[in-house]
Homo-oligomer: A and B are copies of this chain.
Amino acid sequence: MSTTPEPVRQRRRGPELEAALLEAAWDELVEVGFAKLTMESVAARASTGIAVLYRRWANKAELVLAAIDHYRSTHPVELPDTGTLRGDLLAVLTGMGEARADFFAVAAGAFSELRAGTGLTPTQMRDRVMGEQRLARVRSIYQRAHDRGEIDLHRIPAAVLALPFDLVRHDLLMDLGPVSPARIRSIVDELVLPLVRAGAPGADRADARG
């Protein structure tokens, strides 16, 4: 009976509190957007006071930037391994559409105001918000397809490799909502696969074989 008296924590502290603050800020961004987000609305949503926010971030722009970073790093796009290039592309684009729908809606809305608040150039701002990875992380998908002999990587233009991700990003920005499975299948089957197969091993004039 004399076990630890279970310390009913009444106050969050450190990383736990910080995560709660950033999530509150993110939720405010999604619901009301950058302009209508106030330090008080974030503090109220996190059930705390604005002093707690200013103790960590110098101003609204810094807080929002940190909230965007936090969301991106806690909601990564999964890199699948299905065994085929087509399967990998369908999976990663679907994951990207889901994991990044809110992200692009928020980032697009806060972009120019954040620039004004931080003094960064458009390019700096984009790299800061997007994580400046772009093609880098997904390259492994193409590398595996190359190793399997599905494609000849060094014969495929970079524009082709970036194409599916550019288009999903485009759709996310234009619709500010999820990308339909039909659209993803169209991108893969009608655009990417025909283009990569034009440069597939032994496919220079592939059809001339028959």
Contact = CB atoms under 8 A, between A and B. Distances in A.
Contacts of A108: 108, 111-112, 173
A140 to B, nearest CB: 22
Contact of A198 (B116, B163, B187, B194): B194
A81 interface: no
Interface in A162-187: 163, 166-167, 169-171, 173-177, 183, 186-187
- Taking residues whose C-beta sits less than 8 angstroms from the other chain, chain A's interface range is 35 or more
A109 interface: yes
Contact of A169 (B36, B126, B159, B170): B170
A33 B167 contact: no
B33 A113 contact: yes
Contacts of A163: 167, 191
A7 interface: no
A89 to B, nearest CB: 14
Assembly of this chain: how many copies? 2
A112 B183 CA distance: 25
Contact of A210 (B173, B195, B208): B208
A34 interface: yes
A131 interface: no
A151 to B, nearest CB: 15
Interface in A89-112: 105, 108-112
A186 B159 contact: yes
B116 A36 contact: yes
A115 interface: yes
Contacts of A159: 183, 186-187, 190-191
